[in-house]
Structure 1
Amino acid sequence: MTRAIILAAGRGSRMGELTAEQPKCFTRLHDRRLLDWQLTALRAAGINQIAIVRGYSAASFTEPVQYFENPRWAETNMVRTLAEARSWLEADDCIVSYSDIFYSAATVRALAANGDELAISYDPDWLAVWQKRFDDPLADAETFRRHADGRLAEIGARSDSVEAIEGQYMGLLKFTPDAWQRVAALLDERGSTADKLDMTSLLRHGLAAGWRIGTVPVVGPWGEVDSASDLAAYAEVDFSHVAD
C-alpha cells in the first residue's frame, strides 16, 4: 500500500502577503488552492491515505486527512518536517510532496511504480518552465544529471551552462521503509546539526554515500510556486489533465 505525505510546515516567506495569514499551500492557482490540486492528483492516482505535516498556521487546515505536527517549523528544515511522519515512513511506501507544487496523477502513478527504494520525479523540459519564471534561468536552476540506467548521478549544485542540466527536480519523491531507515540513521548521527537539512542536500548526501536514487520524468502539468510572480507563469497551463 502506498501512502502520501504533504510537507506543509513552513511559511513560505518569499510569498509575501500571500502567506501573511495562511499556509503557502493555500495560495490559489486557477481558482483552487495548491493543496487542492495536490489532493486531487494523489487521490486520482489511487492514494487514499494522505497525511499533512503542518506547522505555520496549523489551525487553518481542516481537510479530513491524517495530521502530523512540526512544532519547531520556524527553526528546522524540510527533512526534520518529514521526520515527524516517521510512523508512516516506517510502515509503507510513501509519496512525499512539497506543498508549493502542483503535478498530475500520471506523475504520481509513475513515481509509485518505480522499483527503486528512493526515487524522485524531474522535468526534462525544465528550461521552458524556468524561462517563464526567471529572467535568467541559471540564477535558480541547479545541476541535474542521470546515469545511463536512469539513476541519479548529480543534483543541487550551481551551473553556468543550460546544456549541462538534464532536468530539474520538482519536489516529489518516493520513499520505501528501507530508504527511510537510511535517512533516519543519518538524522540520528547528525543530531541537532540536521535541523537545517533540506531535501536536495539529503539527496546529495545519499549520492555521496552510494545510495541508488531512481528518477522518473514528469507526465503532464506541473509547476512550483516559490513567489507571487510565479503565479503568472502558469496562467496558460491546462489544469484539466491534473487528474489524468
Structure 2
Amino acid sequence: MIAIILGAGRGTSLKELTDDKPTGLIELGGKTLVRWQCEALEAAKARRVCVVRGYRSEQLTPEAAGLPPNAFETVENTDWLHGSLLSGLRCVAPWIDMALAEDEDGIIVSHADALYPADHVLALANAVEPVAITYDTRWQTLWMQRFGDPLMNAETFIHQDGRLLEVGFRPEDPDDIQGQYMGLIRFSPKGWNYAKKHLNKLGAACDHTDMTTFLQGLVDDDILVQAVPVVGHWVEVDSREDYYIYKKALERPGWSHDWRTTSLTA
C-alpha cells in the first residue's frame, strides 16, 4: 500500500498559522500535522508516502516535520495557487502509476488537514470495493464543538448498505446526513483507473472541483464507492478556530475526537 498526502494549498482559513509555513508543519498535540499523518500511515503498513507540496514547498521536508529523512517523498504542484486538492491528485498521478507498477495493492489519499489514527486507515485499507472512503458516525459531536450548530457547514452523506449514494451537497433534511466525509480515500488499482478516467474527463476543471464533487462524479458514473464507518477520533484542521478548539479539547481526558486514540465500533 502507498499513501498520498495532498498538502499543496495555502490554508488561508488558518490565517496567521500558515503565514510562514505550510499546513503540514503546523504543530498540534506536540507534533506537526504531517508527522501525525505519516506515523498513522506507516503504522497501517503504508510502504511509501508521497506529499504533494506547493505553498512554501521548500520548507515541507521530513526533517522539518520531525521525521526521519526518508519518511516521505515529494511531488511539486507548481500551480498550487490556482488549483485544488483534486489538481494535486492529478499532479501526483504519474508517481502513483509508477508505484502501482511495482505491485502495490492500493492507494490511500489523505487531505493535509485531516488527523486520524492508524486503525481508521486500516479499516479503509480492508475495504473490498474499488473506491472507499471513511465517514464519521459521531460527526454531530464534532460539528457542535466547531460550529455550535451541527447542521452548519455539514454536507449530505447518504449511503445504502455501505454503498455511497450522495455526498457533498447542502442538506435539505437532517436525514440526508448519515455521517461526514473525513478526507480519507482508498483506491484499489482498479479504482485508481476509474479515478484517472474521471480526472482526465474533468481536465482543467480539476482546478475548481472539490473532492466531494469528484466522489459524487464517480458515484454518478456508477462506480461503487464503499462507505466505511468509524466513530470519532479524527479531526480536520480547516480553520484557525478549529485549531484552537482542538488544542483546548486535547486537554480533556476522553475527548471523543482525539485522533491519538480510537474506537472502531460503529
Q: CA RMSD in A?
A: 1.8
Q: Which residue in 2 is equivalent to 1:143?
A: 156
Q: Percent identity?
A: 38
> Structure 1 counterpart of 2:133, which letter?
I
| 1:87 aligned onto 2:94 | yes
State how 1:212-223 maps to structure 2 within 5 Å.
212-218=224-230, 221-223=233-235
Q: CA deviation at 1:220?
A: 5.8
Alpha carbons 2:50, 2:75 under 8 Å: kept: yes
> Structure 1 counterpart of 2:158, which letter?
R
> Structure 1 counterpart of 2:261, which letter?
H
| Normalised TM-score (structure 1) | 0.92
Distance in structure 1 (CA, Å) of the matches to 2:108 and 2:95 = 11
Q: CA deviation at 1:14?
A: 0.6
Q: CA deviation at 1:140?
A: 0.5
Distance in structure 1 (CA, Å) of the matches to 2:219 and 2:244 = 35
Alpha carbons 1:142, 1:155 under 8 Å: kept: yes
Q: CA deviation at 1:62?
A: 1.7
Q: Which residue in 1 is equivalent to 2:66?
A: none
SS in 2 for 1:142: coil
Q: 2:129 pairs with 116, 123, 127, which one?
A: 116
Q: 1:197 pairs with 186, 197, 209, which one?
A: 209
Alpha carbons 1:25, 1:35 under 8 Å: kept: yes
Q: CA deviation at 1:36?
A: 1.4
Q: How many residues align?
A: 241
Q: 2:80 pairs with 57, 73, 79, which one?
A: 73
Distance in structure 2 (CA, Å) of the matches to 1:108 and 1:187 = 24
Distance in structure 2 (CA, Å) of the matches to 1:114 and 1:129 = 25
Q: Which residue in 2 is equivalent to 1:26?
A: 25
> Structure 2 counterpart of 1:142, which letter?
E
Distance in structure 1 (CA, Å) of the matches to 2:171 and 2:188 = 31
Q: Which has the higher contact order (CA 8 A, sep 6+)?
A: 1
| Normalised TM-score (structure 2) | 0.85
Distance in structure 1 (CA, Å) of the matches to 2:146 and 2:84 = 24
In structure 2, relative to structure 1, the CA distance for the partners of 1:220 and 1:159 (3 Å cut) is closer
Q: CA deviation at 1:180?
A: 2.0
SS in 2 for 1:46: coil
| 1:7 aligned onto 2:10 | no
Distance in structure 1 (CA, Å) of the matches to 2:47 and 2:202 = 34
Distance in structure 2 (CA, Å) of the matches to 1:216 and 1:187 = 23
Q: Residue deviations 1:131-151, cap 9 Å, x none?
A: 000022222000001112x11
Alpha carbons 1:4, 1:50 under 8 Å: kept: yes
Structure 2 unaligned blocks of 5 or more: 63-69
